Every structure is written in C-alpha cells, then in structure tokens.
Structure 1
C-alpha cells in the first residue's frame, strides 16, 4: 500500500530542509542588490552581482546535470549546503569587519549560483525516487508552495533585516543552510535501479542530455518560452526594485513588495490541484504569459510599494499550476539515468536568461528613466505572449495525472 505523501518521512525531511534553506536564500536575494547599492551606489554593480549568480548557474548547469546522474545524489545535496554555509559565512565576516567589496560579493554569488546548479538536478532526480509516480504531481505542487513560502517569508524578512543591519540577512542565510544540511543528513534515498557508472567522458554524457531534450519537442518548446519569459521578467524585477528605491521607498516596504510574489505563489500552489482539473495544460501555461503581459506595464504607473506588491501577487498566482503541469510531465517522461542531465539542460537555457536579465535591467535603469525601462520589459513579455498563444505544441500539451490527496 502506498504511503500518503503527508506521511512520507523522507519527502517531508527533504521538503522541510529546503523550506528552511529557501527562506535564507530569498533573504539574501533581496539584500544583495540593496547591499551593493549601499556600498557602491551603482545600479550596474547590483546587476553584476545578481547576474553572477545566474551566470554561475549557466556555466555549471550542463556538467552539474551529468554529475548528478553519476555521483551519489545525497552527497551532492549535502556538499552544496556545506559550501553555501562557508560562502555566506565569509560574507558575514567581511561585513562585520566593514571590509566588504564588490569583488568578494561576486565570488560569493558565483559559489551560490554554482551550488544551485548542482543542487537542483540532484534534488529533482531524488524527488522522483522518494515519491511514487501517482503522487509526483502533488509533490511537485507542494514543492512549488514551498518555494513560494520561502520567497514570501524570506524576502519580507530580508528587507526588514537589512534595514536593521546590513549583515543580518546573510547571518540568517548561513544559519538556515546549516539547518538544511542537518535535515538532509537524515533523508534515506532508495538505491537506484541502475547503479551509476563512474564519470569517464563528461562531454558525451552532457551531449546525451542535450540530445534527449532537443528530440522531445514539447520539452524543447516549453523550455524556450520559459527562458524568454525569465529573461524579461528578471530584468523587470531589478528595474522595479531600483525604481522603488529611487522613489524613496523604505527598504522594509521593498522587502514586502518583493515578498508578495511569494504570497501569490502560495495561494496559487494551494489552488493548483483544483486548477489542474479545470484548466487544460495549454490554458494554464498561456494564462501565465497573458497575466504578466497585462500587469507588467501597470507597475510603471504605481508608486506605492505595497500596491506594486499586490500586482506581483497577481503575476504569481497561476505560475504554480503551469509549473506543476510542465515539471511533472518532464519527470515522468525522462528515465532516471537522464533526469539530472535534463535538469542541467533546462538550467542552461533558463540560466542564460537569468544571467542576462539582471544585467539588462541594470543597464536599462542606468540609461533610461525607470518607467521607460519597465515598458521595454513589458514589450518583450508581450511579444513572447503572442507567440505562446499561437503555439500548436502547447495546444497539444499532454494532461498530467491528477494529484492523489495526502
């Protein structure tokens, strides 16, 4: 008899460990650009630090996926958490000594991005090992809620912590990753059906993952659209933060504003099982793009951080349903020995967008007024939305199994 998801000990430990880590991660994410602005006064430098995280994910993404398929995945998870404790702890030390530099923050950002690149494919593959296929959609939706909760609580806390002391968000991040390390140590990962072969030729194994993703049209098309949306939204996100600061919005209010993305994601994750039953995959995916296309330009006209936060919540509302639909189909259709590499390929494409987006946002705010920068990002999102709406591949996207309660 299948154990209900709510009583799956190892899945719960994995979930709780990452809920803790994501709280600290999001506190750092909102604090990083504010810290760079406080130290240098340069929006371009803020974009550089955020872009470094994404660039590191990009560079490490493909080999990370192959290594997650070949190495012991639990050890990969533990090593990534330990490395993040050390990296963020070093930043805490230099902040306490009042010797923080952009160069050091870039190095820390690179470590965080590299660890994320390696952690994500290992976690994705581990999830499919811990959870039966008929509960996989529910687990993916629950992980989406976890991510949104971390974003909601972490970004809100990060803004207020930064206002109280520049070092505090980073102290919290180091502690939460340490707690995550302890929780992960107790997760029991079942042995794999096919013991992984030692890594001998990393290049051909990476190419095998690329071929797998390219040959599956649905995966290829959905990943392309996700990457384009990530490009314009990540640029827009930084633009809005910089614009809010230029308008004199307090740091705590900026934190709440950013946290509302998480609030919308939490509500959306709770509604995802119902929405999966009533919406076709095409409608659930296309709706995300249309909501963003409509709401993005509105933020140029709104000066209240709290109102912008409410718009952020609306933007995030339908994302968990679309993500659950896409990720579940990807995990089910991919053999275990290729799951890490598939995740690495996806990280490559979305990583390109994530690396370029913040840099684009920083450059836009440096050369044009903030409201104009918002409209440039909105135009990009609108163009992608038109293409998504016309896509035959998305219209034929297979419907995943309905999540089993528990």
Structure 2
C-alpha cells in the first residue's frame, strides 16, 4: 500500500495509500447538466481506461523480460526502468508542466505511450520480443506517466468549481484503486492468451483516452502568466519556489513526512503477507486475492471519505487515519504469526484497513492541494511531494527483504508498528494552529 496522492506510484504489493449527496437517481447533486461535468466525465473516463492499460502493462513487462532472458536480474531492471524515471523526473517535470498547457501535455504523453505500446506489440509479434527495446520502452512510458499524472493534477482545479472538488477528488481516488483491481488480473489473463496482447491492449487504451480528451470542450489550460525563457537558473528558481511552499506549509510538511515514512515501512507488511501465504502453500490466485485486499479497501475508502471530510478539518482527518494505522499495525505485530487466523483474517483485514484509511488521506491531500496551493505552483508542489513520498516505495520494497531476514516476521511487524507510532508522534507535535486550519477547504455541497 502507498499514498498515491503524494507518491503517484504503484507499490509492488498492491494499490495504496466523493463528497456525494445522492439524488433519487443515485447521481451526485450538483453534478447534473453542467458543461464542466461533461468535460470531467471525459477526463475521468479517459484516465481510467489509460490507467487500466498501464496496470496490465506494468505487470506483464517483467514477465516478458523473464521469458526472453530467463534472468531475474534483467526482469528487475525492467521493473526499475518503469519506476526510476517517475522518481527522478518528478521535480523538473513539475516546473515544465506549470509552464505549459496541461491538456496538451496529457495528449502528447498519451500519443507517445500509444506509439511505444504499438512498437512493443510489433516486436513481440515479429521477433518474439527484443529485450533492449522492452527496457527502453518501459523507461520512456514511465516518463510519459510522470508528465500525464502531473498535468492531470494541475487541470482539475481549473476545470471544476471549488464546491464540487470533493466529488471529483474522491471519484479520482476510487478510479485509481479500481484500476489496480482490474488491470493486474487483466494483464495476467491477456499474457496467458498471447504475449503481445497486453501491449496491444495498452495501445488501444491510450488511443481511447486520446479520443476522450480531444472531445473535451475546454481544452485551453495555459498558465495564467507569461514565463521567462527556461534556462537552468530559471528552472532552479522555479523549482525552489515549489519546495519553499511545501516546506513552509504547516499542514503539508508533517503529513508529507508521515506519508513518506508509511510508504517505506508498509512495503514490509506487503512482503509479510506474500511470504506467509507462500509458506502456507496457498495458490497464486489466493495470494493475489489477499494482496488485492488493500485495493478493495481503497475503493471503499474513496466512497466513504467524503462523509468524514464534511465533518472534520483536514488535519484532524489525517490524525484519525494515522492513529487507525497504528492500531492496525499493532494488531499485526501482536497476533501469533504462525496461525491460519493471522494469515487469513488479521493480515488481510489490516492490509485492507490500511488501504481504506490511506484513501481518506489521499482525498484530503488532493483536495487541500487543489484549493490551498496557488495554481501557478500546483505542478511543482505536487511533483515535489510525489518525489519524496514516491521514492520511499521502491526503497522500502528493497529494504523489506533485509528487514524480514534480519528481524523475522514478528520483529519486522513490531518495527512497522514502531515506525507508525513515530508518525503519529510527529503529527501530535505539529498539531498547533496551522495554515491548514486557517485555509480549511469547503467540503459541503
């Protein structure tokens, strides 16, 4: 699990971490018969389809690498190729997106992704697959994802009236978790049918997304002010402006620290779940279902988050979620790890609960950033947040094996609980009247 609003990456063991008043027809009040609603629905649909294509390709690229080379090392390089660009490029991409038309950036990113997917499909059909091309294409697609996700973050506040942002943010959060639930199984199924099918499906998904974005009526999302020509000194200065806002915001700063800590150590819980299931000789399908509990929790969390957010401040909502993490982590640490009760009930419930509360934090942060961060800084603040918290995901995944090997499953769980306790302490120390309280976003519809 990881916090996707901050990180933007997919954790190895699953998905992370709408204010809707329904009418009789089940549609949210205020989302009916408006020009922006049509555009948002097109944006949401296009992004959802694109995300499912991305998830299925993310799963199948390392599988193809293994089949082509029979080398776990090369498969690891392919996995890293898709992850590292997203981490390393977040900071400069934020500057570039803030200087550009976000809608156009998204379309160009999708066009390049579709071309790369078509190239991979052709290479598998004609040559059975080319390892070097696979590595380069996965890396380039990772770069495209950075541009697409950052640009999407910047255009939503320009597209949607502030009073309806809670619906939009929660709907986006649910979309991300649902794509994780659907995309991974779809990728495995298509790959079993034929090696080229997942990449063809990714190309088709990108093409459908391009069509959806081109149908949006509002297609101008240019920066509000003219920018100076981009030079190294200008890039550095504009990047520093985003970092300065992030470090000076008394709500975002401690929450970013806690989310980075959580992203790192929760990778250990995901590994524990897989290792213990493997020791109990559960089938791959059963292990996949257990791992998917966090994505299911995220979907449910995205549906219920708005009801909490209408009643409490952003700061209090985050504190409640982190204390929930602490209770869940404590349960994982104290229950007997050798029992079937632990594997089949405690771990999945804790893992799903972490995803459930993580979805609440994701919605809070997305909404806070959309309403309280100046629009001309939004790309840089978002990308800086994702750089720090996103870097914790692969580093935590790498460290998790050493943690479990060195401390054992029980000791590793205790360490995770201790790390979450530190996060709760950080929030408690920072719980003074903060900028977040002064600028509380409006959660009512």
TM-score bin, normalised by smaller chain: 0.7 to 0.9
1:8-27 aligned at under 5 Å gives the runs 8-27=37-56
- Tell me if the contact between 1:256 and 1:309 (Cα under 8 Å) persists in the aligned partners: no
**Residue 330 of structure 1, aligned match among 359, 369, 389:** 369
Alignment pair present for 1:392 and 2:398: no
Aligned to 2:443: 402
Query: Residues 395 and 142 from structure 1, CA distance in 2 versus in 1: closer, same or farther, beyond 3 angstroms?
Result: farther
- Tell me if the contact between 1:129 and 1:190 (Cα under 8 Å) persists in the aligned partners: no
Query: Residues 378 and 11 from structure 1, CA distance in 2 versus in 1: closer, same or farther, beyond 3 angstroms?
Result: same
- Tell me if the contact between 1:257 and 1:309 (Cα under 8 Å) persists in the aligned partners: yes
Instruction: Give the paired residue count.
Output: 400
Task: Give CA deviations for 1:215-243 in whole Å, capped at 9, x if unaligned.
Answer: 22322221222122122234544664576
| Rg (Cα) greater in structure | 2
The separation in 2 between residues aligned to 1:117 and 1:401, in whole angstroms, is: 29
- Tell me if the contact between 1:54 and 1:354 (Cα under 8 Å) persists in the aligned partners: no
The separation in 2 between residues aligned to 1:11 and 1:161, in whole angstroms, is: 30
Bigger Cα displacement from structure 2, 7-16 vs 308-317? 308-317
* Structure 1 residue matching 2:441: 3-state secondary structure: coil
The separation in 2 between residues aligned to 1:294 and 1:368, in whole angstroms, is: 24
- Tell me if the contact between 1:55 and 1:351 (Cα under 8 Å) persists in the aligned partners: no
Aligned to 1:274: 307
The separation in 2 between residues aligned to 1:112 and 1:385, in whole angstroms, is: 34
**Residue 98 of structure 1, aligned match among 128, 151, 159:** 128
Structure 2 unaligned blocks of 5 or more: 1-28
CA positional deviation for 1:205: 1.6
The separation in 2 between residues aligned to 1:372 and 1:48, in whole angstroms, is: 31
TM-score by length of 1: 0.83
* Structure 2 residue matching 1:387: 3-state secondary structure: helix
Bigger Cα displacement from structure 2, 340-349 vs 296-305? 296-305
- Tell me if the contact between 1:137 and 1:402 (Cα under 8 Å) persists in the aligned partners: yes
**Residue 141 of structure 1, aligned match among 160, 164, 170:** 170
Bigger Cα displacement from structure 2, 298-307 vs 319-328? 298-307
Alignment pair present for 1:120 and 2:159: no
- Tell me if the contact between 1:253 and 1:305 (Cα under 8 Å) persists in the aligned partners: no
* Structure 2 residue matching 1:337: 3-state secondary structure: coil
* Structure 1 residue matching 2:261: 3-state secondary structure: helix
Structure 1 unaligned blocks of 5 or more: none
- Tell me if the contact between 2:163 and 2:444 (Cα under 8 Å) persists in the aligned partners: yes
The separation in 1 between residues aligned to 2:142 and 2:254, in whole angstroms, is: 25
Alignment pair present for 1:229 and 2:255: no
Aligned to 1:194: 224
CA positional deviation for 1:198: 5.2
The separation in 1 between residues aligned to 2:273 and 2:70, in whole angstroms, is: 16
Alignment pair present for 1:339 and 2:378: yes
- Tell me if the contact between 2:98 and 2:378 (Cα under 8 Å) persists in the aligned partners: yes
The separation in 2 between residues aligned to 1:196 and 1:302, in whole angstroms, is: 63
- Tell me if the contact between 2:371 and 2:441 (Cα under 8 Å) persists in the aligned partners: no
Structure whose residues are more often helix by fraction: 1
Task: Give CA deviations for 1:339-398 in whole Å, capped at 9, x if unaligned.
Answer: 111112112212321342333346667x66984796387356435444345332488543
Aligned to 1:82: 111
The separation in 2 between residues aligned to 1:45 and 1:302, in whole angstroms, is: 36
The separation in 2 between residues aligned to 1:257 and 1:224, in whole angstroms, is: 28
Task: Give CA deviations for 1:118-151 in whole Å, capped at 9, x if unaligned.
Answer: 1222111100110011111221111111112212
CA positional deviation for 1:259: 3.4
CA positional deviation for 1:70: 0.9
